Amino acid sequence: MLPTTQTHGNGSLSSRDAARHTAGAKRYKYLRRLLHFRQMDFEFAMWQMLYLFTSPQKVYRNFHYRKQTKDQWARDDPAFLVLLSIWLCVSTVGFGLVLGMGFVETLKLLLWVVFIDCIGVGLLISTLMWVVTNKYLMKHPSKDYDVEWGYAFDVHLNAFYPLLVILHFLQLFFINHIIFINYDWFVGYFVGNTLWLIAIGYYIYITFLGYSALPFLKNTVVLLYPFALLVLLYILSITLGWNFTKGLCSFYKLRVQ
């Protein structure tokens, strides 16, 4: 059954319902649930993580259901963010072990990755996409339709998760073992750079799916244009022998010195 709201004769929401639908009210409800683990649906969050790899369209279909039942596009359950944070911490500790870092260095790396790479960059990208979509991709600009900032952040988290698993987890097994992608030889940087291509390609594609799922946006195909630049950069890296993974490892070591 869909939620009901009280309206005045002119069709506007009552003051009570309007307050309940404000961004501040939704944000407060979301943050409050962070303190109540028993109220989080971790099973559903894990389902979403699985389908972000196999069928991301199903994940965004659920966002449609949320809009119909709870009148918001963004998640109201922080379970996905909590599980993503756990993945991030575990994989970063794994990076510290693979790179031979001590406890203090690994802790520094963890703080950098969580607060700068994930949260800081995520806030920046989400805000940028929120501004761009609302300003340039709206079919009919109106105060009744807009891209929620929380939804923009959710799209970033959805796209970031496969990238995290590929570059911060799967890649760990190849840096100093099996293929040694941290070394300057063709097979190493070919496999490593291919993983980067797949990971960033996933990020671009899932971001596109997120915004194309909104019925009031137009020309969302432009969000796929970075694919051309990504493929060109990949070809150049293989031709010139650039090793992205080696650069990442050097960057991480430089951070904690």
Give the three-class secondary structure for 217: strand
Element (H, E) at 56: helix 56-70
- pTM of the complete model: 0.86
First to last CA, the chain: 57
Give dist(CA 206, CA 203) in Å, integer.
Answer: 5
Q: CA dist 20 to 4, 63, 142, 225, 252, Å?
A: 12, 19, 20, 38, 44
CB 88 within 8 A of CB 117: no
Asked if the model's pLDDT at residue 7 lies above 50, the reply is no
Domain boundaries, the chain: 25-255
Instruction: Give residue 182's pLDDT.
Output: 72
pLDDT in tens, 45-86: 999 999 999 999 999 998 888 888 888 898 888 899 999 999
Give the three-class secondary structure for 176: coil
pLDDT in tens, 170-221: 999 888 776 678 777 888 889 999 999 999 999 999 999 999 999 999 999 9
Instruction: Give residue 187's pLDDT.
Output: 87
Give dist(CA 212, CA 219) in Å, integer.
Answer: 8
CB 123 within 8 A of CB 152: no
